Amino acid sequence: MLPQEIIRRKRNGGSLEAADIARFVRGLSDGSISEGQVAAFAMAIWFSGMSRDETVALTLAMRDSGDTLDWSSIARPIVDKHSTGGVGDNVSLMLAPIVAACGLAVPMISGRGLGHTGGTLDKLESIPGYDIQPSAALFRKTVDEVGCAIIGQTANLAPADKRLYAIRDVTATVDSVPLITASILSKKLAAGLQSLVLDVKVGNGSFMSDAGEAEVLARSLVDVANGAGVRTSALLTDMNQPLADAAGNALEIWNCLAFLKGDKRGTRLETVVMAFAAEMLVAAGAAVDPPAGEALARGALENGAALERFAGMVHALGGPADFVDRPGQYLVPAPVILPVEAESDGFLQSCRTRDLGMSVIALGGGRTHPSDQIDHRVGFSALKPLGTPIAKGEPFAFVHAADENAAVRARQEIRSLYVIADIQPETRAPVLSRIT
């Protein structure tokens, strides 16, 4: 079928055959289909949607547009996790070494910051020498010997998605559930996974503030991934406040080390990390149920095995051998650190989380243009959770900035993002629901 006929059928609400979708994706990859045709195809999907079978076909065709990884030489289960993004969401940094210490293999392909959300790769680049684009041989060796490796997407992994996403980005077709689903899963399936767990964020600090819309996306992702042969589940998690008590690249690495050393017990972050660790261990057959999975994960955390895996991953990918023991030697602090004091007594009532993420970018901790250089030192630390009682003059956060003027501006900004009220708010659990 000609490309224009495929577009016309989808525009008119018809269903596409898997062979036609595969043919269109091949043209997308080799450039034989024009940018205008790709844009029209994306817009037709945006208006008409896709069935589960069509979305599976699109996902598999995009997966097969480039290299696919083969982990058959590794005896351990191959697992991964993906998050739709949030503020202070550094779960992957702890989760990968925890489940690796429990016997799983985690070849995690991560991304940079997108919009107001922080990127796992940007955080890891705070560590001197850490190579986010290692050779295929080093990537495989690290996963085999350490159990986990967090790296960036290679040029040959789902290249059709790269071209389609660039066109979607400038044609107002990013927010299509079938296209989001195929974009996320094509890269994950190309990584050769046996099971996958998805973190779909909901709230004012996520890309989806509506719980119903987030559940639709989660169900699409789970249905399509399972339809493509990868055992997958999703957890909907709350993003109405920063997940960690830090937001910013090096600060979130500090937070990761504190977590792996056992210093974040009882936090919302711990609840989310343990929930995903349990989910991954059950999906891989390493635990019979979530409580058993959580017990295994806690054991790996408490006996230091997870911290050892993180140290091993950092060193294997070019970072310092003693990074975990002497992080202060390598993580450069910001020149100016200011407390953010409460201006009244009360309780931390609410937070404009997305704007807090944008404040990190304004400090230099993210990009407004692709070529921007990130200042890994800047951000916010010691962020208190919502519901915390606070006295006038007591700090509820600290600003880390490159200079005094930036620090003062950020301090005023973060004060405006939090509401302090007389009545303690009800706070919801960080894990909202599970989709299978």
Mark whether 30 is an active-site residue.
Answer: no
Mark whether 76 is an active-site residue.
Answer: no
**Dist CA 281 CA 253 (whole Å):** 24
Mark whether 183 is an active-site residue.
Answer: yes
Q: At what angle do helices 159-169 and 177-190 cross, to 10 degrees?
A: 150
Q: Quick one: CA dihedral 122, 127, 133, 139, positive or negative?
A: negative
**Dist CA 315 CA 107 (whole Å):** 16
Active-site residue (options: 168, 201, 231, 352): 168
Mark whether 81 is an active-site residue.
Answer: yes
Mark whether 384 is an active-site residue.
Answer: no
Cα separations in angstroms, 201 against 130, 223, 374, 402, 407: 28, 18, 25, 30, 29
Residue 69 token pair? 């990884």
Active-site residue (options: 65, 83, 195, 359): 83
Mark whether 92 is an active-site residue.
Answer: no
Mark whether 201 is an active-site residue.
Answer: no
Q: What order of strands is seen across the sheet that includes strand 231-238?
A: 79-83, 195-202, 231-238, 431-435
Q: Strand 418-421 and strand 346-351: pairing?
A: antiparallel
Residue 132 token pair? 């986010």
Active-site residue (options: 10, 123, 188, 352): 188
Active-site residue (options: 183, 186, 220, 232): 183
Active-site residue (options: 10, 23, 76, 82): 82
Mark whether 264 is an active-site residue.
Answer: no
Active-site residue (options: 20, 64, 80, 122): 80
Closest CA to 88 of 268, 218, 228: 268
Mark whether 141 is an active-site residue.
Answer: no
CA triplet 327, 329, 335: central angle to 5 degrees?
A: 100
Active-site residue (options: 55, 92, 110, 120): 120
Which amino acids are annotated catalytic? 80-83, 120, 168, 183, 187-188
